[in-house]
Amino acid sequence: MENADVAQVLYDMGAMTEVIGGNPFKVRAFRQAAEVIDTLPGPVSELWRKDELTGLPSVGTRIADKIGEILESGTCEEYEELAAEVPMGVLELLRIEGVGPKTVASVWKELGVTDLDGLEDAIDSGRLKEVPRMGPVRVRAIRKAIGRYRARGGRMPLHRALYYAEGILGRLRRVPGVIRAEAAGSLRRRRETVGDLDLLIASERPGPVMRAFASLPDVDEVIARGDTKSSVRLEIGLHVDLRVLPPESFGAALHYFTGSKNHNIAIRTRAVRLGLKLSEYGVFDREGNRLSGEREEDVFEAVGLPWIPPELREGTGELEAAEAGKLPHLVTEEDLLGDLHVHSDTSSDGRSSLQDLWREAKGLGRQYLAITDHSRSRPLGLEPKALLAHAKEIRAASKKFQGGPKLLAGVEVDILPDGSLDLPADVLGSLDWVVASIHTHFDDPPDRITARMVKAIESGVVDAIGHPSGRLIGKRDPYSYDLEAVLDAARAHGVALELNAMPDRLDLTDGGCRLAKEAGVPVVIDSDAHVSSHLSLLRFGVWVARRGWLEKEDIVNTRPASRLRETRRGEAAREERK
């Protein structure tokens, strides 16, 4: 039973309670508890075992009991009662844009609609119009929304969302009267995927901005258009919201629309306790007098807190940390001195030469670069002899190229199905950096995958475990394994876990980073570059690390080249320190 499964039961209970018109605050309680469980860095079962569930925010004794039931049996009594009343298909209707709990209740109770197909039938037969407050415009909108729901493939990866956001912001910044234009929302929090774009404009004259926004070249449909707020959908399917605010409100708005929702509720509740009111327009006192709001810092100052970086604003303890003066000093891209997982054209899938990689890394100000091509079991991977020759070539090149990063001779060695490594230990031991990764048998049972990784860690010749979960966002699920057991082994041997910065990997996740930090396991942020232009992608890894509360000291490649192996407790490192 994974955290996500427990969370799903709670999410569904919230939705079912909402559809049957239950207490809205109870609905919110279910949802908040679900979100907490869903984003928990460690397994919820562990907290349950230690009877510490009620220590979590938004989890009281009642929900803690339900979580216990769910962990033991996969469900709970109240869930079963709700599920007996509300058909599951009804919950899916809530995911249709423009369809909320009231509409769902109406079509279900009055028309007998219990799933998406039923809703489409009701539209086609004209029965949907019988529902109160349902006119032709809404019926058409719902029909279109169903089509989009069926077609859409989920959230957009961060790197693509950033690309579109920058394009739109660039155009809006040229509109007369625009003082500032920024992206907020999950994009600003640097979540790995983004559902829609939230853009904010500071201007005294909203009119021209709204006109420019609605007439952007790739707008497919204008969904809403008001004086200060508009929504459009781009041809690629991305939903974009735009708000225009006066400059004196911009900071408050930036804070509010950056979220997350849980963070906002927590900080507004805190404001209420202090006799203040927060809105996207500013900070107000009891009489409604505006106190501040031009800068985002104003909002935090008003509630007695230091500014909190957007990546931390998930409602997972950042307010408490800020209050205690214990916010982490988050790692920055500038802190990274090198890159320890890079492929050259010597391995089958690398496309850039040593010189190209070196030149690109020099431009990025890197001090070192480990060339880590694939081992022999990968197609065209390197046999021991070829690898040793390659290492010689890398070291020679490093001497020859002057005034740039040092090139380190490394390898990305396969962890074979039995957990052994794809190259002899003496060959691996002669290299400057060894990344060990799983590239095959992803479907092994979890204990086998775990055992493979642990065995690799215990080999004494491995510096880091590459892309630990093997996931490809939107394409391949992570393989199941026991991260805690891997972290235990990694700590014991001083082996690092990789945070692979490729935008479709981002593996470790933010939650995994937090666990690694708690376990005292170093993290290495790598590009896994297969072409020289990939070297700049490290920033995506930095954002995940920041979301995982990591500081400079937690990251291996913030150290100079001479100190990379100082936390390793394997044989090779001991040899080296002699």
Q: Is 59 in the site for DNA (CB under 7 A)?
A: yes
R_g of the chain computed on alpha carbons:
26
Of 69, 97, 248, 294, the residue at the interface with DNA (CB under 7 A) is: 97
Smallest Cα–Cα separation from 328: which of 348, 298, 308, 342? 308
Give 137 or 324: the residue with its C-beta nearer to DNA. 137
Give 105 or 472: the residue with its C-beta nearer to DNA. 105
Q: Is 292 in the site for DNA (CB under 7 A)?
A: no
Q: b/e per residue, 353-387, with b = 16+ CB within 10 A?
A: ebebbbebbeebebbbbbbbbbbbebeebbebeeb
CA atoms in the 13 A half-sphere facing the CB of 117:
0
Minimal distance, residue 157 CB to DNA, in Å: 18
Of 84, 137, 151, 324, the residue at the interface with DNA (CB under 7 A) is: 137
Of 12, 192, 241, 414, the residue at the interface with DNA (CB under 7 A) is: 241
Preceding amide of 508 cis, omega within 30: yes
Give 29 or 572: the residue with its C-beta nearer to DNA. 29
* Direct distance between the N- and C-terminal alpha carbons of the chain, in angstroms, rounded to an integer: 47
> Residue 283: helix, strand or coil by DSSP?
strand
Of 9, 44, 64, 421, the residue at the interface with DNA (CB under 7 A) is: 64
* Stretch in the footprint of DNA (CB under 7 A) among 57-65, 117-125, 302-310, 564-572: 57-65
Of 143, 155, 171, 239, the residue at the interface with DNA (CB under 7 A) is: 239
Give 130 or 576: the residue with its C-beta nearer to DNA. 130
Q: Give the Å distances, CA to CA, from 235 to 164, 219, 503.
A: 11, 6, 23
φ, ψ dihedrals at 74, nearest 5°: 85, -5
> Using CB under 7 A as the criterion, what x/- string covers residues 451-490 for binding DNA?
----------------------------------------
Count of residues making up the chain: 578
Q: How many residues touch DNA (CB under 7 A)? A: 60
> Using CB under 7 A as the criterion, what x/- string covers residues 357-396 for binding DNA?
----------------------------------------
Give 272 or 389: the residue with its C-beta nearer to DNA. 272
Q: Is 139 in the site for DNA (CB under 7 A)?
A: yes
Of 4, 5, 26, 377, the residue at the interface with DNA (CB under 7 A) is: 26
Q: Is 100 in the site for DNA (CB under 7 A)?
A: yes
- Within 195-308, residue ranges assigned H as helices are 206-214, 250-258, 261-273, 296-302
> Residue 232: helix, strand or coil by DSSP?
strand
DSSP string, 75-112: S-HHHHHHHHHS-HHHHHHTTSTT--HHHHHHHHHHH-
Q: Residues 183-189: contacts with CB within 8 Å, 24+ apart?
A: 184/253, 184/254, 184/257, 184/258, 184/259, 185/257, 185/258, 185/259, 186/259, 186/260, 187/158, 187/161, 187/162, 188/258, 188/310, 189/258, 189/259, 189/260, 189/310, 189/311, 189/313, 189/314, 189/547
Minimal distance, residue 111 CB to DNA, in Å: 14
Of 15, 34, 47, 104, the residue at the interface with DNA (CB under 7 A) is: 104
Smallest Cα–Cα separation from 206: which of 253, 247, 251? 247
> Using CB under 7 A as the criterion, what x/- string covers residues 140-179 for binding DNA?
-x--------------------------------------
Q: b/e per residue, 314-338, with b = 16+ CB within 10 A?
A: bbbebbebbeeeebbebbebebbbb
Minimal distance, residue 61 CB to DNA, in Å: 6
**Side chain identity, residue 41:** P
Look-up of token digits 């499964």: 5
H or E segment to which residue 33 belongs: helix 24-38
Give 36 or 397: the residue with its C-beta nearer to DNA. 36
What span, in angstroms and rounded, lies between the C-alpha atoms of 208 and 248? 19
Give 227 or 426: the residue with its C-beta nearer to DNA. 227
Minimal distance, residue 348 CB to DNA, in Å: 43
Minimal distance, residue 120 CB to DNA, in Å: 17
Which residues in 177-236 contact DNA (CB under 7 A)? 185, 196, 198, 224-229
Give 19 or 496: the residue with its C-beta nearer to DNA. 19
* Stretch in the footprint of DNA (CB under 7 A) among 62-70, 295-303, 550-558, 563-571: 62-70
* Stretch in the footprint of DNA (CB under 7 A) among 91-99, 371-379, 466-474, 557-565: 91-99
Which residues in 246-285 contact DNA (CB under 7 A)? 257, 261, 264-265, 268-269, 272-273, 275, 277-281
Q: Is 286 in the site for DNA (CB under 7 A)?
A: no
Contacting residues for 260 by C-beta, under 8 A, at least 6 apart: 186, 189, 313, 314, 315
* Stretch in the footprint of DNA (CB under 7 A) among 114-122, 132-140, 158-166, 354-362: 132-140
CA atoms in the 13 A half-sphere facing the CB of 3:
16
The site for DNA (CB under 7 A) is made up of: 23, 25-26, 28-30, 33, 54, 57-64, 78, 96-104, 132-139, 141, 185, 196, 198, 224-229, 239, 241, 257, 261, 264-265, 268-269, 272-273, 275, 277-281
